[in-house]
Structure 1
Amino acid sequence: MKKAQYESYFRGKEVTVMGIGLLGRGIGDINFLASCGAKVTATDLKDAKALRKSLRQLKRYRSISYTLGKHRVADFRNRDFILKAAGVPLDSRYISVAEEAGIPVHMSFGLVLDILKKEGVNVTVIGITGSKGKSTTTGLVEAILKEADLPYHLAGNVRGIANLPLLKKVNDGDIILAELDSWQLQGLHAVKISPNIAVFTNFFEDHLNYYDGSMRTYFKDKSAIFRYQTEDDFLVLTSDSKRAINKYYRGNIAAHQQVARFKHLPNSWDYQIFGKHNESNLSQAYQVAKILGIPRTTIKDALSNFAGVDGRFQFIGTDKHGIDFYNDNNSTTPESTVASLQSLKRRYPDRRIILIGGGADKAFHYHKMAKYLARNVSFTLLFSGTATDKIRDCFPPRFEDFTETLSMKTAFNLALEHAEEHDIIILSPGAASFGVFNNEYERNDQYLRLVKRHLKG
């Protein structure tokens, strides 16, 4: 896309960006807006000390002003538009102030799609969402696009990748591959645009602390993945997501619907990833590739060589005692943690499992997870937090094969103490990271450092 095209949407505009963050996405969007000549006010509830690494990357632009450690109503008035980050509360009074004043409120990915549409840029957007499996399915589709040598750009919920700079890179004929959580899908409702190829992996309890316990409100955000599709678009489902649509959605779906099933893949193909949940991920990626018209041999090579995604049921290595280490950091719901543990148990029925998990609650029920841990996991290390409180209360009376901890280092060392030869140690929290960690990425990185240091020793 030409510079003059996208710059015209931002030059001279007064913009408030709500949420700077620590993960790079907010920084990238703010940098892009400032480089296009926008007058940016960046506001975040974190103070300057907490944001020092992020703020360091914005020093070159004098047109950026800051409100830190709080939000101010004044920053949400007399603006050309507001750019809000994922996770801003649904009932934010500041967003209400802007909306009541008639100021457009955007999210970055939705704004990108809106501008591309207005400028007539011919791109194919593949959007992938679901309560579990979206990262692995996105990784599988990316592997296929790479193998097919197709021009693509990653977007959405990808660590360190901002969305607005896509406008500099995308050209006619390109593919945008986006992993989209429910918060980012809010932005598609605002512009009434859905991906050309939508993938909906599954739907179960998640983020209910954010959605005030309402599955219907949660599904409303998720429905943006298909709600604005046309008859030229495709919606790839599983039997689980199909059931969710039947339960929670009453509107018309214009797109061609396809239910992906693992039995549709050739029996002769082999894969490095395993488990029922990964069979679902493989089948949906296969369906996307077929829609794109990619040759079967190319699909086979990509899927067969795919080794997994960081933090998603990821095998890291085996130590000198035959202990295997897995990183399932991104399993932040009890259902996803149980699914990962079940996959390990099916594949290695005679091996003991030691779990590192727990943390902060997102309004989940933990009875099923606690029952599974008590029966199938040899020892459990739980990070202190509201989710761990629930898990502990759900354990059977006199159950003692667990302990609580306040740090990853302590949890990891205790896991090693309890491990025997050929055991499996897995980080699979089933909960949010807040409290013990700043975010899920910090939890992920600490675990990986400890495992890799142990494997080297």
Structure 2
Amino acid sequence: MKQIAILGAGESGLGAALLAKREGYGVWVSDSGMISPDRKNALQDAGIGFEEGGHNESKVLSSDLIIKSPGIPTKAPLVKRAMEEGIPVVDELEFAYRFSAGKVIGITGTNGKTTTTLLTYHLLKEAGYDVGLAGNVGQSWACQLVDKDHDWWVIEVSSFQIDGFQTFKPTIGILTNITPDHLDRYEYKIENYILSKMSLFKNMTSREKGIVFSEDPLTQKGLEMKKLKADLHLISLSKKQEKGGYSDLETLEISANGISVKIPASTLPLSGKHNVLNALFAGSAAMIVGLDEEQLIQGYSTFKNAPHRMELIREVDGVRFINDSKGTNVEATYYALGSFTEPMIWIAGGVDKGNDYSVLNDLVDMGKVKVLICLSTDNEKLKTAFSGIISEIRETQDIRQAVAWGQELADLGEVVLLSPACASFDLFKNYEDRGAQFRNAVLELKEKQKA
């Protein structure tokens, strides 16, 4: 019996363990931290051995295969030693791929991948396809495969997960964009990060379809560094495409399989240029699968995005409160700010990731952002960046205070936007916690007394 060691007992680790057990492997789960009670119970019920609070190196290194959590870098000492000893090391998605007969739509990108993934899944599901959702959203792929396979899988993949791919080959691969992120994992070299993202396509042939944004400069650099063999479909906001998608922000034009459709942008329940791009990516993939114009319109019109992504929480006294807590980098916030023409109160801040805020200057200048509310334990870089550009800057560590100021300062028809451009770990557990606290604070607001 072949032995598999699994490093990390999170969502992906547990799923990989259960699938490996079903496939007849001897399985050992090792976590350097503590394993949650629910996951311990699941492992015990399946008869899978485990350890927590550290790794038994000799036991791990006696395995035939190691499946590691995507959060564990290949330079981690135990992983490095395993690779030096010739033990294959993969991630959960790579392992799961080997046990699915379904076709895969793999979606990556620095920004937009979650919305594109959810929308692609929704379009196929609404059209009646047998489709599953996995990867960075929903339940782990391996865990789902224990019970059921699907004809199609829509899978969101991070660069960390792509780094663990060996045989993983999407039928349709989507790269939404590339902007600097996670560079600490890539030796602070943007070229390494670009190559990681481009590796989504590395096993694809001319029979598979690749979809990329033609106006994204780092994607173009990636195409120069690593030529795609996949049949290329381009997404554009400047030029109509023979294969792919184009929009003038009024109409979506999508072409695939020799067929073209035109759909009014007003069909989309999502606002902003970035969401038009997401819709073009998802629609192009859906048309490649086989959806027609009517099915696309039906799917677009019934889609509801995930929480914390340009989510309208509530309108109070004619002011819209928008939760974009998922906007954890400058590029995501750039898209969020650009989604509105109305004056706004902007709530931003958190753990700075070496941000260059100057790219936002054109969007916040000319009085579009009336007030910046800095929500962090250290706001100096943010305040310095926008001093003299935004006329009023306030700061707080209390999200309820930030929301209350938003209500006080915004006028009828304006917007209060939470789009932090930063990580959340100074004041919150994660971006979901930050978004949930923002939502609760907005829901607690009382309408102003009418005169």
Q: TM-score, normalised by structure 1?
A: 0.83
For the 8 Å contact 2:103–2:152, the answer to whether it is kept is yes
Q: Distance in 1 between matches of 2:17 and 2:380?
A: 39
Tell me the CA shift for residue 186 of structure 1.
Answer: 1.4
Q: Distance in 2 between matches of 1:135 and 1:372?
A: 24
Q: Identify which of 294, 298, 321 aligns with 1:297.
A: 294
- Equivalent positions of 1:393-432 (< 5 A) are 393-396=384-387, 401-432=392-423
For the 8 Å contact 1:33–1:40, the answer to whether it is kept is no
Tell me the CA shift for residue 41 of structure 1.
Answer: 2.6
For the 8 Å contact 1:83–1:106, the answer to whether it is kept is yes
For the 8 Å contact 1:141–1:289, the answer to whether it is kept is yes
Question: Structure 2 regions of 5+ residues with no counterpart?
Answer: 235-244, 255-261
1:383 aligns to what? Answer: 375
2:274 aligns to what? Answer: 277
2:71 aligns to what? Answer: 87
Tell me the CA shift for residue 25 of structure 1.
Answer: 4.1
Tell me the CA shift for residue 197 of structure 1.
Answer: 0.4
- Equivalent positions of 1:51-450 (< 5 A) are 51=36, 55=40, 58=43, 60=45, 63-68=48-53, 70=54, 73-74=57-58, 76-116=60-100, 121=101, 123-159=102-138, 161-171=139-149, 174-188=151-165, 191-241=166-216, 244-247=219-222, 249-259=224-234, 260-262=245-247, 263-265=252-254, 266=262, 268=264, 270-319=267-316, 321-345=317-341, 349=342, 352-369=343-360, 372-373=363-364, 375-384=367-376, 388-396=379-387, 401-450=392-441
CA 1:335–1:29 in structure 2 vs 1: closer, same or farther (change >3 Å)?
A: same
80-89 vs 395-404, which moves further? 395-404
Q: Distance in 2 between matches of 1:389 and 1:34?
A: 52
Tell me the CA shift for residue 180 of structure 1.
Answer: 1.2
Q: Distance in 1 between matches of 2:308 and 2:15?
A: 23
CA 1:148–1:65 in structure 2 vs 1: closer, same or farther (change >3 Å)?
A: same
CA 1:206–1:357 in structure 2 vs 1: closer, same or farther (change >3 Å)?
A: same
3-state SS of 1:257 partner: strand
Q: Distance in 2 between matches of 1:407 and 1:74?
A: 48
Same amino acid, percent of matched pairs: 25
Q: Distance in 2 between matches of 1:85 and 1:225?
A: 18
For the 8 Å contact 1:371–1:395, the answer to whether it is kept is no
Aligned partner of 2:86: which letter? G
3-state SS of 1:141 partner: helix
Q: Distance in 2 between matches of 1:437 and 1:71?
A: 30
Tell me the CA shift for residue 126 of structure 1.
Answer: 0.4
Tell me the CA shift for residue 32 of structure 1.
Answer: 4.7
Aligned partner of 2:83: which letter? E
Tell me the CA shift for residue 233 of structure 1.
Answer: 0.3
For the 8 Å contact 1:314–1:326, the answer to whether it is kept is yes
CA 1:31–1:275 in structure 2 vs 1: closer, same or farther (change >3 Å)?
A: same
Q: Distance in 1 between matches of 2:353 and 2:306?
A: 24
CA 1:208–1:372 in structure 2 vs 1: closer, same or farther (change >3 Å)?
A: farther
Cα deviation code 1:381-411 (max 9, x no counterpart): 333257x443233223596723333343443
Tell me the CA shift for residue 370 of structure 1.
Answer: 6.0
3-state SS of 1:165 partner: helix
Aligned partner of 1:447: which letter? F
2:6 aligns to what? Answer: 17
Tell me the CA shift for residue 358 of structure 1.
Answer: 1.5
CA 1:385–1:183 in structure 2 vs 1: closer, same or farther (change >3 Å)?
A: farther
Aligned partner of 1:436: which letter? L
Q: Identify which of 15, 37, 41 aligns with 2:29.
A: 41
CA 1:316–1:94 in structure 2 vs 1: closer, same or farther (change >3 Å)?
A: same
Cα deviation code 1:55-90 (max 9, x no counterpart): 56656456432232x556446421232221122234
Name the structure with the higher strand share: 2
Q: TM-score, normalised by structure 2?
A: 0.84
Size of the aligned set, in residue pairs, is 424
1:9 aligns to what? Answer: none
For the 8 Å contact 1:111–1:187, the answer to whether it is kept is no
For the 8 Å contact 1:194–1:226, the answer to whether it is kept is yes
Cα deviation code 1:348-395 (max 9, x no counterpart): x3xx31222221133332222367446532222333257x44323322
Q: Distance in 1 between matches of 2:59 and 2:319?
A: 54
CA 1:81–1:341 in structure 2 vs 1: closer, same or farther (change >3 Å)?
A: same
For the 8 Å contact 1:361–1:385, the answer to whether it is kept is no
CA 1:389–1:216 in structure 2 vs 1: closer, same or farther (change >3 Å)?
A: farther
Cα deviation code 1:96-135 (max 9, x no counterpart): 011112222111111111333xxxx3x2110111111111
Tell me the CA shift for residue 150 of structure 1.
Answer: 0.3
CA 1:63–1:19 in structure 2 vs 1: closer, same or farther (change >3 Å)?
A: closer
Question: Structure 1 regions of 5+ residues with no counterpart?
Answer: 1-11
